[in-house]
Amino acid sequence: MAELRISVDRLQIGNYIKLPLSWRDHPFLLSSFLLKKEEQIQLIRQLGLKFVFIIPEKSEAPPKPAEILELPQSDIDLNDEISSLQEKMQSEKAERIEKLKEYRRSLQRTEQSFNRSLAQMRALINKLQTRPLNAIREAHELVDDITKQMMQADQMVLHLMSDSPEGESLYYHSLNVAMLSMLLAKQCGKSEEEIKLLGMAAIFHDIGKIKIPSQILRKTEPLTKPEENLYKLHPRYSLALLDLAQEFPTQAKGMILKHHERLDGSGYPEGLKASQLDDLTQLMSVIDEYDSLCHPQMGGKAAATPHTVLSFMFKHKTKQLNKDYIGLLIKHLGIYPPGSVVELSNGQVGLVMSVNSQRLLYPAVQVYDPAVPRNEAAIIDLENMNLSIKRVLLPSRLPQEIFDYLSPRTRISYFFDSSNGANGS
């Protein structure tokens, strides 16, 4: 995108500019923005700048012609109104920087909770074959802890977590399905007992995959028919493993066996239809399908963005999956779920980091700004900034410098924070 260097005397409302200053050396929240008020131009002059950069493609008006002269800076009336505005902007920026620090602390807390839960998930899945009673007890403890936090929370912020290491897809997928299933169950008024059942079923719903040969699970080409038939046995393999522990809830076993069944009878392993599938199974099936479409593990299928997956499910999966739960998932994650790379209404590119269950239209977005160090990147609240999302972008098509700055996740995992005020600056 072309940038033109112009004298500050040529600035006018409608110019989209980039300041040649460090982010901390000016009172504006961002270093690149659209000029909307004459006072902004006066403030730029007060900064002592002789020139700025203008981006014509993002501007709503051209700069003033070069032959039109402005008063020299020394003659500009630095009135009390402008000085007051500068003080206000500096105060607001300082406040937003502090909010950003609190947001990052919230994100760090959530990441720590996620990693603890993931470690528990990894341990109990690995114990299932050798110490099944211990594995089931630890699973109950994990689910009880998550349920308790969810039930006590008035509002929840869903955060984007880090990528998964190679070979740990089963743990990340299982935790993601458990987390989102339990969140959705709470949203639609399910009882605490039902939420716990969902959590137990989701944690172990794909455990049978450890009985599937790794060359099938890691295969990048489409599966052969015999390979596909073997893969479709994994729900039965899951039940066989869980039968080692009699304490595992019977209803959760049924949900595990049926999570790949579909309302129209097109699923497996038994080809059941809607009337044969209980409500909780239908809910978990929606979440499992969502996460699987975002992160296909085999068969040569490409990963899709969360936004694209939600749109695809709503348009093409409502005969196979519960339409109401698809709608609820969209409502809970927002139109632009965490992990979405987006272009904002001001032309900036960002990564959706969090959504608040009570403010879904205004996610927290980390924005690309080369003038700001990556570890200090602004995470903005779209409502406070009077911005909106223009469109979703494919991470693979980002310029390398933007991709490296935003670091889009290849594995999109979510975890919740129930503390207040955790939705960005």
Contacts of residue 389, defined as CB under 8 A and 6 or more positions apart, other chains included, come to: 335, 336, 342, 343, 344, 345, 365, 382
- The answer to whether the beta carbons of residues 332 and 184 sit under 8 Å apart is yes
* Distant-in-sequence contacts of 392-398, Cβ < 8 A, 24+ apart: 392/305, 392/307, 392/308, 392/336, 392/340, 392/341, 392/342, 392/343, 393/341, 393/342, 393/343, 393/349, 394/305, 394/341, 395/305, 395/341, 398/341, 398/349
The pLDDT of residue 80 is 63
Q: Which residue has 């994994």 as its token pair?
A: 234
153, two tokens: 């929370």
The per-residue pLDDT for range 309-355, each reduced to its tens digit, is 999 999 999 999 999 999 999 988 888 888 899 999 888 899 998 88
* Cβ atoms of residues 307 and 355 within 8 Å: no
Q: If we measure between CA atoms, which residue out of 233, 243, 132, 123 comes closest to residue 171?
A: 123
* Domain residue ranges in the chain: 4-78, 110-333, 341-417
Rounded Cα distance, 67 and 393, in Å: 41
pLDDT above 70 covers what percent of the chain? 89
Cα separations (Å) of 164 from 8, 92, 110, 119, 168? 48, 37, 16, 12, 6
Pick one of 1.10.287.3510, 1.10.3720.10, 2.30.30.90, 1.10.3210.10 as the CATH number of 110-333.
1.10.3210.10
What pLDDT tens digit does each residue of the chain (425 aa) get?
Answer: 688 999 999 999 999 999 988 777 888 878 888 899 888 898 898 888 889 999 998 899 999 987 655 544 444 444 566 677 677 777 777 877 787 788 888 888 888 888 899 899 999 988 988 898 899 999 999 999 999 988 887 666 777 776 666 668 889 999 999 999 999 999 899 999 999 999 999 999 999 999 999 899 888 888 999 999 999 999 999 999 998 887 899 999 999 999 999 999 999 999 999 999 999 999 999 999 999 998 877 655 666 888 889 999 999 999 999 999 999 999 888 888 888 999 998 888 999 988 876 777 778 899 998 878 888 788 888 887 778 899 999 998 999 999 999 988 877 888 887 654 444 44
Rounded Cα distance between 335 and 131, Å, is 42
Length of the chain, please? 425
Side chain identity at residue 321, one-letter code: L
Cα–Cα distance, 308 to 344 (Å, whole number): 17
pLDDT of residue 16: 92
Instruction: Tell me what pLDDT residue 166 has.
Output: 64
Judged by phi (left if over 0) then psi (alpha if -120 to 50, else beta), residue 120 lies in alpha
Give the per-residue pLDDT at 300. Answer: 53
For the chain, what is the radius of gyration of the CA atoms? 26
Q: Give the number of other Cβ atoms within 10 Å of residue 53's Cβ.
A: 15
Judge whether 277 and 259 are in contact, CB under 8 Å.
no
**Quick one: DSSP state of residue 18?**
E
**Tokens at 273, concatenated:** 């239809």
**How does 266-300 read in b/e, with b if 16+ C-beta sit within 10 Å?**
ebbeeebeeeebeebbbbbbbbbbbbbbbbeebee
Give the three-class secondary structure for 355.
strand
